[in-house]
Amino acid sequence: MARHTKGRSRSERRRATLARSGLIPPGEPQGRSASIAGVVARRGKSLEVEPLFQTGPCLPVERGPVKPHPGDLVLYTFSYGFKARIIQFLGRSHVLSDVMDALLADNLVQRGFSPKVHADAASAAELHEHRDSYRSDLRELFTFTVDPIMAKDFDDALSFERTPDGATLVYVHIADVSYFVAEETALDREALRRGNSVYVATGVEPMLPPILSSTVCSLLPGEDRKTVTVEMELDDGGRVLQTRFYRSLIRSDRRLDYEQMERMFRGTESVDPELAPPLEWGRTLAQKLRDLRYQRGSLRIESSEPEFEWDEDGQVVSADPSEELESHWFIEVFMVLANEQVASFLEREHVPTVYRVHDLPDPFHLDRLLDMLTSLGLPTPVFDPMLATPQDVRRVTRETAEWVDRYAPSGRGKAALVQQVLRAQARAVYQTMNIGHFGLASEAYCHFTSPIRRYPDILVHRALLAQLGLGPSPTTSILSDWAEHCSRTEREAMKVELKADDIVLAHLLKRRLDEEGWEESTFEGQIMSLTYRGMFVLFDRLFQGYLPVRELPRDNYCLNDLETAMEGKRSGRAYKIADLIQVKVTAVDEARGRVDLALAEEPDSDRPRRARLPRGRKVLARVSRR
């Protein structure tokens, strides 16, 4: 079996600016598709379409050339007479790949590429055969890539050498995508409109056509590839002595996946003689760089994503929570270092570009986080948001994050506490003004290492190469608009990818319950968040479901002002964020990725009551099961 890790409204003035820039044609929708994905259901003698991923009413099906059946997934639009006009048949609601296609069709303006974009891509791909005299030929340098096992777009590769004086040369080779994607072409405008690739469990909607993303730009093993290299000389303490940037030609010698590299690190898989020395040099240096990053103040917050297992037919068969592997941070530290070196150079040279910035948390958001943790009975540092300096905010955030990451009290769930810390952080975005990256404790940071799947990386490549005299001068007059647009497309892609994960997990959960039995299956879960109508619970480390108040023991429940606890007025029984509870699944909506829960067993009336909440808490809402 194979494993795979996935690897987020504008004003009219902003929209007009983007239209004038050629990013979008005037009048073209920017966000999700104008069509809606829905599932067909029979209501009496008529057929209706119910939207899958959007809120809205069920509509009767308008007569047309497409004849749907109950359970069909379709793409539709509104028609006269408040009816649904079927545009396209997408498949069946119980088939995972069909649901993934429906999700992408519902959220993306366009799937696939226009003939003009394909023509531009095919023409650009011919540049692969050109020999550029200015490129440094590094094909004799031993080079390897490390990516998820199912990946096809290999953005980055690594090489290592030792110098006579004991230093280490680290070569980070990045696909030279800007060489193939010229400004103001249809290919470039489409890549900018998309902003990034969108990954779901069953495939990807790429930013660039496959002839580029999976072929001539991808650093495939044994193939000559055009790259931009960041060459860094580091001493044994991890200090960067000097850095060079140049266009290069490489040939990858090995294609590794993360699990394979992890087995090599653990000694359960042999390492061939050519790979062993660079892997040893890089491993020692990666550990030092990681330690230095923590020492300078980068946050230690680990959140998990599902890793899916695939059978030989490409079907998802199971999932596990991701764990932090050494192979993951081995690659990460060198990519982060390369991004920092590029950003520092561009800032030092006063070159307009797009930075990846992460601001300090809002002091009042941080104060609310500390209040929430205090209300849960957890220790917190002293903090006054009215008097706090940026240094205070940084110190308290680090202390809180490190405490949560290392320690979870008995009977409490760590994932719920980590989620609260993450929610208190500012959002990382793209912008032209450098304010540093708080999470990484970097004074200057940009995205440079994934130009196949992120448009901001292409913008950074163009800025760097133009400054080095190796490429044309790029457009900078509306760079801030493009940066804001890419931040928005990233957020939209993240929403789609999270929903896709929920749908896959719902399919796997239902299959598991059908095999093992619904009544016999109970799970230990942790309360992730509370609303006045119920609570979201993470169970079996992977699945998340909703447990409504009506499924709790009969009582009048009050939600406190911090939304961290729900207490029964009569019994005094309280349900708090991070509490561990036993749950069972009552329903699974596979197509929407929704799971309904109930308590596995109602607590005995003789069970000792939980301590009441501190007095004086303001009640936001009251709900009752009577």
Q: Quick one: average pLDDT of 219-241?
A: 96
Give residues with Cβ within 8 angstroms of 533, minimum separation 6: 548, 549, 623
Whether residues 407 and 526 fall in one domain? no
Q: Tens digit of pLDDT for each residue in 110-121?
A: 889 999 999 999
Whether residues 130 and 78 fall in one domain? no
Whether residues 299 and 392 fall in one domain? no
Is residue 507 situated within a structural domain? no
CATH of the domain at 97: 2.40.50.140
SS3 call for 46: strand
- Report which secondary-structure segment, H or E, holds 168: strand 168-175
Q: Tens digit of pLDDT for each residue in 313-358?
A: 667 788 888 778 899 999 999 999 999 999 999 999 999 999 999 9
Is residue 155 situated within a structural domain? yes
Q: Are 145 and 220 in contact (CB under 8 A)?
A: no
Q: Tens digit of pLDDT for each residue in 378-428?
A: 888 899 999 999 999 999 998 898 888 777 777 788 899 999 999 999 999
Is residue 500 situated within a structural domain? no
Percent of the chain topping pLDDT 70: 90
How do strand 306-310 and strand 156-162 relate by DSSP bridges? unpaired
Is residue 464 situated within a structural domain? no
Whether residues 174 and 95 fall in one domain? no
Does residue 618 surpass a pLDDT of 80? no
pLDDT score, position 202: 83
Q: Which range is least confidently modeled, 45-59, 295-309, 380-394, 571-585?
A: 295-309
Is residue 340 situated within a structural domain? yes
The domain total for the chain is: 4
Is residue 477 situated within a structural domain? no
Is residue 442 situated within a structural domain? no
Q: Of 74, 107, 140, which closes a domain?
A: 107
pLDDT band at 483 (very low <50, low <70, confident <90, very high): very high
Q: Quick one: average pLDDT of 94-103?
A: 92
Whether residues 214 and 147 fall in one domain? yes
Whether residues 398 and 542 fall in one domain? no
Nearest Cα residue to 234 out of 222, 243, 225: 243
* The model scores a pTM over 0.75: yes
Whether residues 417 and 555 fall in one domain? no
Whether residues 382 and 398 fall in one domain? yes
- Report how far residue 449's alpha carbon sits from residue 398's, in angstroms, rounded to the nearest whole number: 27
C-alpha distances in angstroms, 552 versus 521, 601, 618?
A: 19, 10, 22
Domain that holds residue 391: 363-423
pLDDT band at 377 (very low <50, low <70, confident <90, very high): confident
Q: Of 72, 107, 142, which closes a domain?
A: 107
Q: Tens digit of pLDDT for each residue in 540-587?
A: 989 999 999 999 999 999 999 999 999 999 998 999 999 999 999 999
Q: Of 88, 107, 126, which closes a domain?
A: 107
Nearest Cα residue to 531 out of 545, 544, 547: 547
Whether residues 121 and 63 fall in one domain? no
